[in-house]
Structure 1
Amino acid sequence: MKLKKDSIVYDVGAGTGSVSIEMARVADEGFVDAIEKDNSAIDLIECNKRKFATPNIVTISGMAPSAFAGLPTPTHAFIGGSSGNMDSIVGTLLELNPDIRIVINAVTLETIGEITEIIRKYRFSYSEIVHLSSSKARDLGKYH
């Protein structure tokens, strides 16, 4: 993500806050807005924020992109979940800061396809898709 010490980061779909915590440690002179719609996850973010001493995380309860209203302009965004709003989230982030650096986590092949379409639609000057996978092999005749 190329975070700096003073980065202002949106963690969209923050879940338990594990990514927020790691980003907050790097951007220790900035802050991370952890945006999450699930109230039980909000409680976990708050618990983990205390446990890992990351006071520069601000927990935001709400659905992106409407939850961005009134927040400081981000320099970076990590999208861990979009609840089907990926296009409007990315569009709003680009309206807030045309030079923002966005990283999107994809679990499904459909999300990778959606990301590819978004890259085309918004004509990013630079994009990179990194696919990581894990496999388990077993003998199948002379193959694995």
Structure 2
Amino acid sequence: MIIRDEEFIRGNCPMTKEEIRTISISKLNIESGHRLLDIGAGTGSISIQMSKISETGEVIAIEKDEEALAIIKKNKEKFNADNLKILNGEALSVLDEVEGKFDGIFIGGSSGNIEDIIKIYGQKLKSQKYMVLNFITIDNVYKAIHVLEDLKYETELVQISISKSKGKSHMLLALNPIFIITARRVKNE
């Protein structure tokens, strides 16, 4: 079940667009019963979609922005995402509240701490499972890909450009291009 962008409560918070959300989630290879983590959850569009796929599992969303947190809670209620737990704070400051291992980790925001987030939260990713990261800036792509390769993840980088039609003439308007890194943890620990 794909949730359309217009179904989410948005406010003024950034949201991963439907096409990018669909591709990113597909790269996580989610199954029912998986335990998943969304770092930098924004409006919660990724968290909510993951919770619907992994209905018998658990999703933890981490977000620091107060307005975004209020919107995630509204979306959680709207979509009956009872298996979604929301943590308030930056990823590195709520680390003690995030216990156990995960079947998938999505990173949509890092507050400038992408290298540390990958290193620390990557230890919570089960072997042979996936971390998917979305970026707008080349600088963050560069930092992330190098840390992941240093940690011996198998990586894939794709850049997605989406244009949507507008008006009667169907003029196409481009959205920001998005970089998607898919990293599979191959190290056994």
TM range (shorter): 0.7 to 0.9
Matched, 1:106 2:135: yes
Structure scoring higher RCO (CA < 8 A, sep ≥ 6) equals 1
Matched, 1:45 2:72: yes
TM-score of the pair, normalised by structure 1: 0.86
TM-score of the pair, normalised by structure 2: 0.67
> Which contiguous aligned blocks of 4+ residues in structure 1 show a shift greater than 4 angstroms?
none
The aligned counterpart of 1:68 is 95
Post-superposition offset of 1:98:
5.2
Once the two structures are overlaid, the 10-residue window that deviates more, 74-83 or 91-100, is: 91-100
Using the alignment, how far apart are the partners of 1:16 and 1:97 within structure 2? 23
The aligned counterpart of 1:142 is none
What secondary structure sits across from 1:3 in the alignment? coil
Supply the AA of the counterpart residue of 2:122: L
Structure in which a larger fraction of residues adopt strand: 2
Post-superposition offset of 1:75:
1.9
Q: How many residues align structurally?
A: 136
Using the alignment, how far apart are the partners of 2:60 and 2:44 within structure 1? 10
Using the alignment, how far apart are the partners of 1:97 and 1:15 within structure 2? 21
Question: Is the contact between residue 105 and residue 125 of structure 2 (CA under 8 Å) also seen in structure 1?
Answer: no
Out of 99, 105, 111, the position equivalent to 1:83 is 111
The aligned counterpart of 2:158 is 130
Which of structures 1 and 2 has the bigger CA Rg? 1
Task: Give me the CA root mean square deviation.
Answer: 1.7
What secondary structure sits across from 2:59 in the alignment? strand
Using the alignment, how far apart are the partners of 1:31 and 1:88 within structure 2? 24
What secondary structure sits across from 1:25 in the alignment? helix
Out of 43, 53, 56, the position equivalent to 1:29 is 56
Matched, 1:94 2:112: no
The aligned counterpart of 2:9 is none
What secondary structure sits across from 1:32 in the alignment? strand
Using the alignment, how far apart are the partners of 1:65 and 1:90 within structure 2? 10
Q: Kindly, what percent of the aligned residue pairs are identical?
A: 32
Unpaired segments of 5 or more residues in structure 1? Answer: 138-144
Unpaired segments of 5 or more residues in structure 2? Answer: 1-27, 164-171, 174-189
Supply the AA of the counterpart residue of 1:96: K
